[in-house]
């Protein structure tokens, strides 16, 4: 069980949490190392693909199209999954989803479950609910196991324990697996996890998973992973309960040809995940003979109803935006107070909370655009951030007429700018000019901005912001491409 689950309702606001995170130099070093490695791998395998931009465009269109016909595709998935022997359940919110899953685990006759890493179950704090019902959940993904045994919290959506280094992991395993002699090579640690979990895989009769994709056309479910713990949880138990946000559906089997290229390269810099599993309902003699899927809304339909925000639902949870984000790289994931950290967390979490919590998150960004550049389904995160900032400002100022009109108007203008690439570039150039009066040079001649007007000041309360680079990321990237270096 995690220590205190990350919950935007109770977490300190980002600027405060970030202040603490910035003081943890070991954590920041670990995060920087991990994100550097993934980014370098990602850049290499993306550069191999001559059709990467065409794949991104196809990915974006597939996701957009799915959202436009979401009711049809969900019903089609339900029909086909049911026909294949699965049982489909629906949950309006986290509480209903927890109740359904708990009831299904009880009905399976087990008081233990093996779990595959799933952000959706983290989002609804499923482990706490199961524990309260007397059911123990074992996390089986190596990183999730590290977090569970270390009573810690995830800090990245793909590599949740990237903030821990091997000495820290070894110390947790020594203590919790009772292995005082454990070595400290990554191989020693992986072997210890294999031993610890194998007995559970072979014994426990109920599995709980999330899903990467639900295939409407066939009723199939797809999970991508690397360790094989996913295959263990999907294949060996008698009962499997899969919980997925309603946004996880894809129209047809063929659409996987796009998503299975975009996801692994973006997420971990692999050409393909070591393991992908696709299964459809129940197959006599192969895998669990009782299979449930819980389709959960939990504010996703509110996001769908928001014209500007709905592209958030296109996300395939690759984490590339996190790795690319200078703010995430400085603060690590936990400062976001939510299981979804980094740029995707900054737009998804406040919307999942109907904008009642996590209002500081849309401000936790330098709007440099790096997240948009790497997003495999072209989600314009800066555009959504600006839109949400405007919402926060409007929400907080309802009734205080006039006082905050300036910020609200500024945010609306920013939202317009982010809609167009040309305008976005122009604004970046303008930004470098506009900030000039705020820059103070430090001893090394590097410019720092320690105060920004109005709402933009949230970020600079915590740390000094380095002045905008003379060249934008885009300009640099394009020049770099041309020079061939």
Partner 1 sequence: MGTDMTTATTISTSARTEILRRISVANGGTSDAAAAGAAWEHLAREYRRKAVLQPESVLDLLEDRLRDYDAHVERVRRGDVADVVAKMLATRGKRRMVIPAGIAPEWLPAGFEFVADEGMTAIELDGFDGVMTGSTVAIAETGTVVLQNVPGQGRRAVTLVPDYHLCLVSAADVVETVPEAMEGLRGKAELATTFFSGPSATADIEMTRIKGVHGPRHLDVILIL
- By CB under 8 A, tell whether 231 contacts partner 1: yes
- By CB under 6 A, tell whether 382 contacts ligand SF4: no
- By CB under 6 A, tell whether 55 contacts ligand SF4: no
Joined tokens for residue 450: 């320690």
Residue number, 295 or 321, with CB nearest to ligand SF4: 321
Among 8, 86, 207, 287, binds partner 1 (CB under 8 A): 287
Among 251, 456, 464, 467, binds partner 1 (CB under 8 A): 251
Among 91, 335, 379, 415, binds ligand SF4 (CB under 6 A): 379
- By CB under 6 A, tell whether 384 contacts ligand SF4: no
Joined tokens for residue 63: 């996701």
Q: Using CB distances below 5 to 8 A depending on partner kind, what does residue 376 bind out of partner 1, ligand SF4, none? A: ligand SF4
Among 62, 104, 236, 344, binds ligand SF4 (CB under 6 A): 344
Among 55, 375, 386, 410, binds ligand SF4 (CB under 6 A): 375
Q: Using CB distances below 5 to 8 A depending on partner kind, what does residue 315 bind out of partner 1, ligand SF4, none? A: ligand SF4
The residues that bridge with 294 in the sheet, in sequence order, are 89, 243
Contact positions with partner 1 (CB under 8 A) in 15-44: 30, 33-34, 37-38
Count of residues touching partner 1 (by CB under 8 A)? 109
- By CB under 6 A, tell whether 377 contacts ligand SF4: yes
We find the least distance from the C-beta atom of residue 340 to ligand SF4, in angstroms, to be: 8
- By CB under 8 A, tell whether 351 contacts partner 1: no
Give the chain as a 3 state SS string. Answer: CCCCCCCCCCCCCHHHHHHHHHHCHHHHHHHHHHHHHHHHHHHHHHHCCCCHHHHHHHHHHHHHHHHHCHHHHHHHHHHHHHHCCCEEEEECCHHHHHHHHHHHHHHCCCCEEEECCCHHHHHCCHHHHHHHCCCEEEECCHHHHHHHHCCCCCCCCCCCCCCCCHHHHHHHHHHHCCCCCCCCCHHHHHHHHHHHHHHHHHHCCEEEECCCEEECCCCEEEEEECCCHHHHHHHCCCEEEEEEEHHHEECCHHHHHHHHHHHHHHHCCCCCCCEEEEEECCECCECCCEEEEEEECCCHHHHHHCCCCHHHHHCCCCCHHHHHCHHHHHHCCHHHCCCCCHHHHHHHHHHHCCCCCCCCHHHCCCCCCHHHHHCCCCCCHHHHHHHHHHHHHHHHHCCCCCCCHHHHHHHHHHHHHHHCHHHHHHHHHHHHHHCHHHEEECCCCCEEECCCCHHHHHHHCCCCEECCCCCCHHHHHHHHHHHCC
Contact positions with partner 1 (CB under 8 A) in 105-124: 106-107, 109
We find the least distance from the C-beta atom of residue 266 to ligand SF4, in angstroms, to be: 6
Contact positions with ligand SF4 (CB under 6 A) in 245-304: 266
Name the segment binding partner 1 (CB under 8 A); options: 13-21, 120-128, 280-288, 431-439.
280-288
We find the least distance from the C-beta atom of residue 40 to ligand SF4, in angstroms, to be: 17
Q: Using CB distances below 5 to 8 A depending on partner kind, what does residue 199 bind out of partner 1, ligand SF4, none? A: none
Q: Which residue has the tokens 């737009």?
A: 347
CA distance 86 to 13: 41
Q: How many CA atoms lie within 13 A of 351 on its CB side?
A: 28
46-85 footprint of partner 1 as x/- string (CB under 8 A): ----xx--xx-xx--xx--x-xxxxxxxxxx-------x-
Name the segment binding partner 1 (CB under 8 A); options: 249-257, 361-369, 397-405, 455-463.
249-257
Q: Are 138 and 160 in contact (CB under 8 A)?
A: no
- By CB under 6 A, tell whether 374 contacts ligand SF4: yes
Among 145, 169, 249, 316, binds ligand SF4 (CB under 6 A): 316
- By CB under 6 A, tell whether 315 contacts ligand SF4: yes
Identify the CA nearest to 6 among candidates 322, 349, 433, 311. Answer: 349
Q: Are 148 and 114 in contact (CB under 8 A)?
A: no
Residue number, 191 or 405, with CB nearest to partner 1: 191
Contact positions with partner 1 (CB under 8 A) in 138-167: 140-143, 146, 159, 161-162, 165-166
- By CB under 8 A, tell whether 355 contacts partner 1: no
- By CB under 8 A, tell whether 390 contacts partner 1: no
Among 206, 239, 280, 338, binds partner 1 (CB under 8 A): 280
Q: Give φ, ψ of 245 to 5 degrees.
A: -65, 150
Q: Using CB distances below 5 to 8 A depending on partner kind, what does residue 156 bind out of partner 1, ligand SF4, none? A: none
Q: How many CA atoms lie within 13 A of 197 on its CB side?
A: 29
Residue number, 98 or 300, with CB nearest to ligand SF4: 300
Identify the CA nearest to 372 among candidates 344, 348, 394, 352. Answer: 344
- By CB under 8 A, tell whether 182 contacts partner 1: no
Contact positions with partner 1 (CB under 8 A) in 200-229: 201-202, 215, 217-220, 226-229
- By CB under 6 A, tell whether 67 contacts ligand SF4: no
Contact positions with ligand SF4 (CB under 6 A) in 118-147: none
- By CB under 8 A, tell whether 356 contacts partner 1: no
Positions that interact with ligand SF4 (CB under 6 A):
266, 315-321, 344, 374-377, 379
């Amino acid at each position: 069980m995690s220590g205190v689950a990350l919950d935007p309702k109770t977490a300190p606001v980002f600027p405060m949490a970030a202040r603490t995170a910035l003081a943890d130099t070991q954590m920041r070093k670990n995060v920087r190392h991990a994100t550097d490695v993934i980014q370098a791998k990602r850049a290499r395998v993306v550069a191999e693909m001559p059709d990467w931009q065409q794949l991104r465009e196809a990915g974006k269109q597939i996701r957009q199209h799915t959202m436009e016909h979401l009711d049809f595709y969900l019903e089609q998935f339900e029909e086909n999954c049911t026909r294949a022997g699965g049982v489909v359940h629906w949950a309006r919110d986290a509480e209903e989803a927890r109740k359904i899953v708990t009831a299904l685990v009880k009905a399976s006759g087990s008081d233990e479950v093996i779990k595959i890493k799933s952000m959706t179950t983290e989002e609804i704090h499923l482990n706490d609910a199961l524990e309260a019902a007397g059911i123990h959940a074992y996390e089986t993904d190596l990183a999730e196991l590290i977090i569970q045994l270390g009573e810690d919290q995830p800090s990245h959506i793909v590599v949740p324990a990237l903030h821990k280094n091997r000495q820290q992991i070894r110390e947790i395993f020594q203590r919790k697996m009772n292995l005082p002699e454990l070595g400290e090579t990554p191989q020693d640690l992986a072997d210890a996890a294999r031993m610890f979990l194998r007995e559970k895989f072979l014994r426990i009769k109920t599995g709980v998973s999330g899903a990467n994709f639900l295939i409407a056309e066939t009723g199939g479910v797809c999970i991508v992973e690397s360790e094989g713990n996913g295959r263990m949880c999907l294949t060996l138990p008698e009962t499997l309960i899969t919980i997925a946000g309603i946004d996880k559906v894809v129209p047809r089997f063929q659409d996987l040809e796009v998503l299975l290229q975009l996801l692994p390269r973006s997420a971990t810099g692999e050409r393909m995940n070591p393991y992908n599993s696709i299964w459809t309902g129940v197959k006599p003699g192969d895998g669990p003979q009782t299979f449930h899927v819980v389709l959960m809304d939990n504010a996703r339909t509110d996001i769908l109803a928001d014209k500007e925000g709905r592209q958030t639902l296109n996300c395939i949870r690759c984490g590339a935006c996190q790795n690319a984000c200078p703010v995430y790289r400085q603060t690590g994931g936990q400062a976001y107070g939510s299981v979804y950290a980094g740029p995707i967390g900054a737009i998804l979490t406040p919307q999942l909370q109907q904008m009642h919590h996590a209002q500081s998150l849309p401000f936790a960004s330098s709007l440099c655009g790096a997240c948009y550049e790497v997003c495999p389904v072209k989600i314009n995160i800066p555009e959504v951030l600006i839109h949400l900032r405007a919402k926060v400002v409007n929400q907080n100022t309802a009734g205080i007429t006039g006082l905050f009109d300036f910020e609200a108007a500024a945010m609306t203008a920013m939202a317009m700018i982010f809609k167009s690439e040309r305008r976005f570039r122009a604004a970046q150039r303008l930004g470098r000019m506009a900030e000039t009066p705020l820059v103070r040079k430090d001893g090394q001649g590097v410019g720092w901005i320690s105060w920004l007007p109005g709402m933009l000041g949230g970020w600079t309360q915590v740390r000094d912001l380095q002045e905008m680079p003379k060249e934008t990321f885009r300009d640099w990237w394009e020049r770099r491409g041309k020079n061939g270096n």
